[in-house]
Amino acid sequence: QVQLVESGGGLVQPGGSLRLSCAASGIAFSLYPMDWYRQAPGKERELVAAISSSTDTNYADSVKGRFTISRDDAEYTVYLQMNSLKPEDTAVYYCHVIRYGINYWGQGTQVTVSS
């Protein structure tokens, strides 16, 4: 059974930083691309960042240069380092993986950027 557990969200002032973590289990972690999505109130869920099994990365234009996705295959964990946070980054952030054509999501972690 695939499980994804996010942590690291919270309240931060504009310009601040947070590091999200997603611990995976039930999956041969190193073989799979991993993604971070977010969903703000009243908006659709959107892809924020993705990392392949070979650590190639890509980012939404809105976060390029501010967010960094990384992975530790030994720890079965994917990270999202978020710097220079803006109020528009406020959302629930979800970890995601596709395994055998099935989408798996974590429970989400709330990030609120506000003064």
User: Number of helices and strands (H, E) in the chain?
Assistant: 0, 11
Pair type for strands 3-7 and 102-105: unpaired
Instruction: Band the pLDDT of 3: cuts 50, 70, 90.
Output: very high
Percent above pLDDT 90 for the chain: 100
Cα separation, 67 vs 80, whole angstroms: 7
Q: 19-70, pLDDT tens digit by residue? A: 999 999 999 999 999 999 999 999 999 999 999 999 999 999 999 999 999 9
pLDDT at 87: 97
Asked if residue 48 lies in contact with residue 93, where contact means CB atoms within 8 angstroms, the answer is: yes
Pair type for strands 67-72 and 77-82: antiparallel
Q: 68-103, pLDDT tens digit by residue? A: 999 999 999 999 999 999 999 999 999 999 999 999
